[in-house]
Amino acid sequence: MRLYPLLFLLLLVAAALAVLVGSGDLGDPALRDTFLKLRGYRLTAAFVAGAALAVGGVVVQGLFRNPLASPSVLGTTAGASFGGQVALLAYGLAGAGSSFVVPEMIVPIGCFIGALGALAVLLLFLRITQDLLALLLTGFVLSALFLSLSAFVSSVAQETWELGRAVVSFSLGSVSGTGPRQLSFALPLIGIALVASWFWGRSLDLLLSGEEEAQAMGANVGAARWWSALWVSVLVAGAVSVGGNVGFVGLVVPHMLRPFAGTKHQRLIPAAALAGGIFLVACDVVARLIPSRSEIPLGVVTGLIGAPLFLLLLIRLRRERAYAVS
């Protein structure tokens, strides 16, 4: 079966499971519409977040010419997570009545502010130097800084039980509380970033051959880096705003797809959007199936599934290279 028909079939299966699996009863006519709406919001949030993270992974791996890169290497993932935690902490300490923003929008706005802050520092360094290693190290330092600040925020939030629980839950990832307002805020931004990433696909293809060769073939390397960092930041901020801190999607999904979709970014990006959405929806279904008094966080499930899967992919890649050499 061809790639895209298979992905659409898997999407239908995942969507059906996402609606039907979990606690709840469709047999009660009085609650059926509300139940389906909540499951629909959750399904949409998981798919959108997975698509954004997977495409972000494709773009970052093309930008650094490194299949081990993930969207988190730019530091914007940690920045978005820190921004969301700070927004939760500020809202909890100030009290609901003092907010000028609709409560449901506190976290999405905080995520985008945090991601834009990390992006501003990253772009500042891009103006100073065009060295990819410097860019990678800057992203690493930003990630370490924001992770430390996030740990500090979590410690402060433990002063109040409800606030501490909310901050920890957000940091572990979940789409269970996502509603229409969060989706209406994140969807347009993620949609624009997905389309823009696709348009930059040809430049990313040229960058795979090296910077000098890409420039010789007409690619604007500086612009490609600048815009790639921008759109990855938007994708990550949108994903974190609706799904919290979820890992491994942007790392595993591109690896799974390249043997079938190839390395051309304008073909790989749409496939990654579909596969990433399917992967995260499936992980959300698994989170509901694990027997527990409370639902297992989505970020924990993606790590438990993504890490072994990534190791298997690396082993297969190494074997293929060994056969090719022999």
pLDDT, tens only, 4-56: 889 999 999 999 999 888 776 666 676 778 888 888 999 999 999 999 999 99
Structure tokens at 244: 């919290």
Residue 289 near residue 295 (C-beta atoms within 8 A): no
Tell me, what's the pLDDT at 36?
A: 85
Provide the pLDDT for residue 260. Answer: 87
Looking at residue 193, what is its pLDDT? 95
Per-residue confidence (pLDDT) for residue 70, from 0 to 100: 86
pLDDT for position 272: 95
Query: Tell me, what's the pLDDT at 275?
Result: 95
Report phi then psi at 292, rounded to 5: -165, 155
Amino acid at 256: M
Are 298 and 287 a contacting pair, CB within 8 Å?
A: yes
Is residue 168 within 8 Å of 154, Cβ to Cβ?
yes
Instruction: Tell me the C-alpha distance between 181 and 41, whole Å.
Output: 10
The secondary structure of residue 297, as a DSSP letter, is P
Q: What is the DSSP string of 60-129?
A: HHHHHT-TT--GGGGSHHHHHHHHHHHHHHHHHHH-GGG-SS-GGGHHHHHHHHHHHHHHHHHHHHHHH-
Distances (CA, A) of 205 to 61, 122, 226: 11, 23, 16
pTM metric for this prediction: 0.90
Q: CA 137 to CA 157: how far, in whole Å?
A: 30
Virtual CA dihedral for 243, 112, 162, 291, nearest 10 degrees? Answer: 10
The pLDDT, as a whole number, for residue 145 is 92
19 exposure class (CB count in 10 Å sphere: 0-12, 13-18, 19+): middle
Question: What pLDDT, on the 0 to 100 scale, is given for residue 26?
Answer: 66
Per-residue pLDDT tens, the chain, 326 aa: give them.
Answer: 588 889 999 999 999 999 888 776 666 676 778 888 888 999 999 999 999 999 999 999 988 888 778 888 888 899 999 999 999 888 887 765 555 667 778 889 999 999 999 989 888 887 777 677 777 888 888 999 999 999 999 998 888 888 888 888 888 888 988 889 999 999 999 999 999 999 998 888 888 887 777 777 777 888 888 888 899 999 999 999 998 889 889 989 998 888 888 889 999 999 999 999 999 999 999 988 888 777 888 989 999 888 888 888 778 777 766 665 55
Q: Write down the H helix ranges in 200-220.
A: 201-207, 211-216
Q: Which amino acid is present at 163?
A: L
**CA–CA separation, 282 vs 144, rounded Å?**
30
pLDDT digits (tens, 9 = 90+) for 62-86: 888 887 788 888 888 999 999 999 9
Taking the CA of residue 139 as centre, how many other CA atoms within 13 Å lie in the half-sphere pointing to its CB?
A: 24
- The pLDDT value given to residue 320: 66
Q: How far apart are CA 184 and CA 138, in angstroms?
A: 32
Closest CA to 210 of 132, 122, 123: 132
